[in-house]
Structure 1
């Protein structure tokens, strides 16, 4: 555990908690991608808009990165939330017409919800420029999200204009216990300091980690509706990772438990304090069911 300069377990109050992405950040932050670290890149086959992607070899010249690995399989539910073709956040397809992501990913500079027509999705490809292209019809931000990620409820739903054929991921029936193995997915910044990368990786990455004890997270962490996920500056979720999934299970039977929210402490270094905070998607099952009319994949 990396302690705050203020001492073990002390919450830093000199700056607000930092979300891991979204479209209200600076242009350079906007294009930072998902898993900070330290993974290998993987390629994907370009497919028509209604097709699903298949795993492909690492492109020539891809450099190994410490702490993780290339996406080892196809994740047909994995989504890239974009503006003007630029990746900004991750998301998870939970039905043929709904994607779950982080609330701060759909919050504009003035605190309002970004209009649906300004958002686009790419679903099911390891290459965030490929896969199923989907327009957003409606944005449903959690009604109790305040604009401060440490206030919780950092979750939103995107209704697609038309249904897609990709296989959605089911939401787990309950919150994972401490020590549960968890897989994180995303595109993104491959160094832990804010601003250290100007371009997002093009290919999907994965990182296997675990659920931390609740005490390892301190930035307004709410154990009733959030997950404390283990991470270090060498292997963690980071800027641009917001909204992307934390999964439990195994190949062919993945279940969604979390959506990336913020650092485990008020730090600009990803993984500082050995934790990342995820919104517990399982704790919001009732709200999701009500908002989607029950149209969600069930475990």
Structure 2
């Protein structure tokens, strides 16, 4: 029994050390996107909502007037029933509340662009020049469920430090990014369309948008994100960004 206890304690210490080494200065707390921490300074994250203020998807502010999100979030919804909040870590207060004036769906990929009726007070995030290689440290964000096996959401955007896995780890292909689920965490319901970024606080770059997550087993397997760098040409042609 003593030997077993010693081995268990050593294993626990190793896990703690690995978590600290992987997470660095942004080690997650008890909750988050699932199992992360509040992301109080992330002002390019956008909340996609119904007109009553109910958050149902995330997005990324890629220009003062444009938000990138997942196509499945908006298909079948009339533009008159949608609003977006940007420039704040809270989906129900602060920042700028927008009425969209145009929605453009990619013809095949799960990607949509929303033109805002005005400009955002948030700071846009640029799209990375190339797909992140395996091992790249990334950060995922969202206002979705923060629990495993049940629904519990937060009014504050949450973040989780993670990394890029090989495509085979989640049957991804060249237009998707297989994303690790450290600490049993990952994106969940309500995080669809939310950003995956690389870099640091002063120089974030957008690499992915969350595809439809699994529920109620969020965090039990790697997450799959659409690789937005593969669609830079379409995004630029639709928005004029980078021209």
For the superposition of Structure 1 and Structure 2, which TM-score range results when normalised by the shorter chain? 0.7 to 0.9
Matches within 5 A, 1:1-299: 64-65=30-31, 67-71=35-39, 73-83=40-50, 84-108=52-76, 114-130=77-93, 131-144=95-108, 153-193=109-149, 196-197=150-151, 199-218=152-171, 221=172, 223-231=173-181, 234-263=184-213, 268-272=216-220, 274-292=221-239, 294-295=240-241
In the superposition, the TM-score normalised over structure 2's length comes to 0.81
Gaps of 5+ in 2: 1-26
Deviation at 1:75, TM superposition (A): 1.8
Structure 1: how far apart are the matches of 2:78 and 2:175?
27
**Contact 1:236 1:276 (C-alpha < 8 Å) held by counterparts:** yes
Deviation at 1:234, TM superposition (A): 2.3
**Contact 1:115 1:139 (C-alpha < 8 Å) held by counterparts:** no
CA gap of 1:106–1:39, structure 2 versus 1, over 3 A, is farther
In the superposition, the TM-score normalised over structure 1's length comes to 0.67
Q: Deviations over 1:129-166 (max 9, x none)?
A: 1221111001111112xxxxxxxx11110011112232
Structure 1: how far apart are the matches of 2:145 and 2:215?
16
**Contact 1:99 1:157 (C-alpha < 8 Å) held by counterparts:** yes
Deviation at 1:39, TM superposition (A): 5.8
Secondary structure of the structure 1 residue equivalent to 2:99 = strand
Larger RCO (CA within 8 A; separation ≥ 6): 1
Deviation at 1:119, TM superposition (A): 0.7
Q: Deviations over 1:93-114 (max 9, x none)?
A: 1011100001111112xxxxx2
Structure 2: how far apart are the matches of 1:167 and 1:254?
11
Structure 1 stretches (4+) deviating beyond 4 angstroms? none
Structure 2: how far apart are the matches of 1:268 and 1:202?
20
Structure that is richer in helix per residue: 2
The RMSD of aligned alpha carbons is 2.1
**Contact 1:90 1:243 (C-alpha < 8 Å) held by counterparts:** yes
